C-alpha cells in the first residue's frame, strides 16, 4: 500500500523547523513506511518574488538530491501576479514540480488568486491551499486572510476543473464545519494532516466526502499523520485510496 504524504515541508534560510532536514524526513519515511513527500517551503507575511523563488530553490535542491522521494510544490504570492505565473510555469514545466502551494497571503476567493488557479488548471497540477476555520478569536486574528472550507467550496464552484486540496483537516480548527461545507464541493480534495487527532475524524471525513477525496498527509505531525489513518475504522480499500492511490492519480494527470 503506497503512502504519499501530500503535505510536507522542508525548511529554508528564514523558516527553521527543529530537527527538520531532508534526511530526517527520509528517516521518518523508513520508520513510518512513507514512500514520498510532496513538499513546499514558505516565508510568512507578504513574500516578494525574490523570497518565494528562494523558497522554491530550496525545494528544488531537495528534489534533486532525493528524486522520487521528495516532490515539490511551487510556492507563490498571488499578489505578484506576473512573477507568480512565470514562476509556476518554470517550476512545473522545466523543473518538474508537481503542484502549487498557496498560503495565507490572500483569501482564495480574492480575484487576485484566479490567474493562479487558471495556470494550475492549464498545467493539470493541484493547488494545496492552506486553510482552516479557527473558532478561537485570538488565534483567528493571527491569520486575517486565512481561507476556510466555505471559501474553497466557492472557489471550486468558480473553477470546477481545478484540483484544489484543502490543507490539514487536523490542523485548521473546526474540522466538522469544514466537512459539512465541502460535502457538495465534489471536486475538492482534503488532506488529513495536522496535529489534531480527534477520534472519529477520518471516519466522518470518509462518510461526508468519500475516501476518493481524502489524501494522507502529515504536515510534519508524523506519528499523528500515519496513526490516525491506521486507527480509522474504514475498509482497507478506503485506507489504500487515502494513503496513496488518490494522490498517485492526481500526480499522474500533470501535463508532460
The residues binding other proteins (CB under 8 A) are 17-20, 24-25, 27-28, 31-32, 132-136, 139, 171-177, 195-201, 203, 220, 222-224, 226-228, 230-233
Q: Return all residues near 125 (Cβ < 8 A) that are at least 6 apart.
A: 92, 97, 98, 99, 100, 163, 253, 254, 255
Nearer to other proteins, 20 or 121 (CB): 20
- Taking residue 255's Cβ as centre, other Cβ atoms within 10 Å add up to 9
Q: Which residues of 215-225 are buried (b: 16+ CB within 10 A; e: fewer)?
A: bbbbbbbbebb
Nearer to other proteins, 52 or 243 (CB): 243
Q: Considering the complex, what minimum distance in angstroms separates the CB of residue 198 from other proteins?
A: 6
Nearer to other proteins, 187 or 195 (CB): 195
Structural contact between residues 181 and 208, judged by C-beta atoms closer than 8 angstroms: no
Task: Report the distance separating Cα 212 and Cα 109, nearest Å.
Answer: 25
What is residue 114's DSSP assignment? Answer: H
Q: Considering the complex, what minimum distance in angstroms separates the CB of residue 52 from other proteins?
A: 24
Nearer to other proteins, 84 or 221 (CB): 221
| The C-alpha cell that represents 210 in the structure block | 468519500
Task: Report the distance separating Cα 24 and Cα 167, nearest Å.
Answer: 22
Task: Report the distance separating Cα 144 and Cα 161, nearest Å.
Answer: 28
Nearer to other proteins, 52 or 208 (CB): 208
Q: Considering the complex, what minimum distance in angstroms separates the CB of residue 222 from other proteins?
A: 5
Nearer to other proteins, 121 or 140 (CB): 140
Q: Considering the complex, what minimum distance in angstroms separates the CB of residue 215 from other proteins?
A: 18
Q: Considering the complex, what minimum distance in angstroms separates the CB of residue 143 from other proteins?
A: 11
Task: Report the distance separating Cα 230 and Cα 86, nearest Å.
Answer: 40
Q: Considering the complex, what minimum distance in angstroms separates the CB of residue 228 from other proteins?
A: 5
- Taking residue 201's Cβ as centre, other Cβ atoms within 10 Å add up to 20
Amino acid at each position: 500500500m503506497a503512502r504519499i504524504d501530500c503535505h510536507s515541508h522542508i525548511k529554508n534560510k528564514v523558516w527553521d523547523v527543529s530537527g527538520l532536514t531532508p534526511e530526517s524526513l527520509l528517516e521518518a519515511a523508513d520508520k513510518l513506511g512513507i514512500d514520498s513527500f510532496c513538499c513546499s517551503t514558505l516565508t510568512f507575511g507578504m513574500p516578494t518574488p525574490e523570497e518565494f523563488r528562494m523558497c522554491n530553490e530550496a525545494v528544488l535542491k531537495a528534489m534533486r538530491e532525493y528524486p522520487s522521494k521528495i516532490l515539490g510544490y511551487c510556492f507563490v504570492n498571488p499578489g505578484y501576479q506576473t512573477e507568480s505565473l512565470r514562476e509556476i510555469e518554470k517550476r512545473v514545466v522545466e523543473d518538474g514540480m508537481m503542484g502549487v502551494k498557496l498560503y495565507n497571503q490572500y483569501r482564495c476567493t480574492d480575484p487576485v488568486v484566479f490567474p493562479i488557479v487558471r495556470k494550475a488548471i492549464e498545467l493539470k497540477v493541484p493547488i494545496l491551499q492552506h486553510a482552516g476555520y479557527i473558532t478561537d478569536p485570538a488565534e483567528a486574528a493571527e491569520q486575517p486572510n486565512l481561507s476556510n472550507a466555505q471559501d474553497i467550496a466557492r472557489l471550486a464552484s468558480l473553477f470546477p476543473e481545478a484540483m484544489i486540496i484543502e490543507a490539514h483537516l487536523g490542523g485548521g480548527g473546526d474540522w466538522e464545519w469544514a466537512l459539512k461545507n465541502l460535502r457538495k464541493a465534489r471536486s475538492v480534495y482534503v488532506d488529513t494532516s495536522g496535529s489534531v487527532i480527534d477520534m472519529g475524524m477520518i471516519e466522518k471525513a470518509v462518510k461526508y466526502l468519500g475516501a476518493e477525496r481524502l489524501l494522507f498527509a502529515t504536515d510534519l505531525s508524523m506519528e499523528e499523520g500515519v496513526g490516525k489513518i491506521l486507527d480509522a475504522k474504514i475498509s482497507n480499500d478506503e485506507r489504500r485510496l487515502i494513503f496513496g492511490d488518490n494522490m498517485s492519480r492526481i500526480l499522474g494527470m500533470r501535463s508532460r
